[in-house]
Structure 1
Amino acid sequence: MPGTFETRLADLGETLPDAPAPAANYVPYVLLGDVLYVSGQISQDRDGFITGRLGDDLGVEQGARAARACALSLLAQVRAACDGDLDRLVRVVKLTGFVNSTPDFTDQPKVINGASDLFAEVLGDAGRHARAAVSAASLPLGVAVEIEGIFQVR
């Protein structure tokens, strides 16, 4: 039976993907006590990688959807780290979002809001977090967004 957070996701029409496997020589997460560090999750959905460059061939709304996809992958990693029980998540502590964007694009925070908004919708106050949103000249595989996260779990 799904827990509270997965029920909220379903109410939003969202389902968690399987936790993506690492693409290189690193682990998807590290758990130290009650602090969970999740490696950067790149923008992808059921159709594959969400690619493009903000300020060039993608707009803010498309970028925010890519960031939302990253947030779902982050939650999938949290669920995997918590032995399948997403309700062990206590709070989102910090996100660092990287936006593949042109030098003159300045709406990185609006793009990363796609992830921040999802966490608030699903987790309420436990989803509110510290954050950085920065530009990147390019990202792995040409994806639009990559986000890493720090979480508190029980």
Structure 2
Amino acid sequence: MSIEATLAEKGITLPDAPAPAANYVPFAQSGNLIFVSGQISADENGLITGKLGENVSVEEGAAAARRCGLSLIAQVKAAIGDLDRVARVVKLTGFVNSTPDFTDQPKVINGCSDLMVEVFGDAGRHSRAAVSAPSLPFGVAVEIEAVFEVA
């Protein structure tokens, strides 16, 4: 089944690939790797803001991370046109806006990791880092960057 068919079957709609907010490109390709710049948590209502351990639950953080994942997929689609060319999700690096005592960063970033496996199957399994940040751009709850291998 094609990736587009998988998305349709699961009722997943990709957002438009977000434009960069500063002096950088949304993705860069080197050889068969696509490096996607950090995608911040946002949905159709705007930015998803807040701080884990203060006013955002782990479940809300995971949902925000999933939204970052949708933007990551939208960016790689903008880069290569055909999502069936994705050979593998190589790595995710997730940043969680959280209080100093918050320790569930992996549970938050699972929202994106689970999406990658849901969409790409075994090719969606990846290496990963999930770290805290004392603040993120625009006060968003989560930011995630990714590396994809393409055929």
> Does the TM-score normalized on the shorter chain lie above 0.5?
yes
Which of residues 38, 44, 52 in structure 2 aligns to 1:40?
Answer: 38
Structure 1 outlier segments of 4+, above 6 Å: none
Match of 1:10 in 2: 8
Structure 1, unpaired ranges of 5+: none
Match of 1:126 in 2: 123
Does residue 98 (structure 1) correspond to residue 95 (structure 2)? The answer is yes
DSSP 3-state at the match of 2:56: coil
C-alpha distance in 2, partners of 1:93/1:140?
25
Q: Which amino acid aligns with 1:37?
A: F
Match of 1:149 in 2: 146
DSSP 3-state at the match of 1:102: coil
TM-score when normalising by structure 2: 0.97
CA shift, 1:5, in A, is: 1.2
CA shift, 1:133, in A, is: 0.1
C-alpha distance in 2, partners of 1:43/1:11?
24
Q: Which amino acid aligns with 1:60?
A: V
C-alpha distance in 1, partners of 2:141/2:5?
28
C-alpha distance in 1, partners of 2:73/2:109?
15
Which of residues 107, 115, 120 in structure 1 aligns to 2:104?
Answer: 107
TM-score when normalising by structure 1: 0.96
How many percent of aligned residue pairs carry the same amino acid? 70
DSSP 3-state at the match of 1:16: coil
Aligned residues: 151
DSSP 3-state at the match of 1:64: helix
CA shift, 1:6, in A, is: 2.1
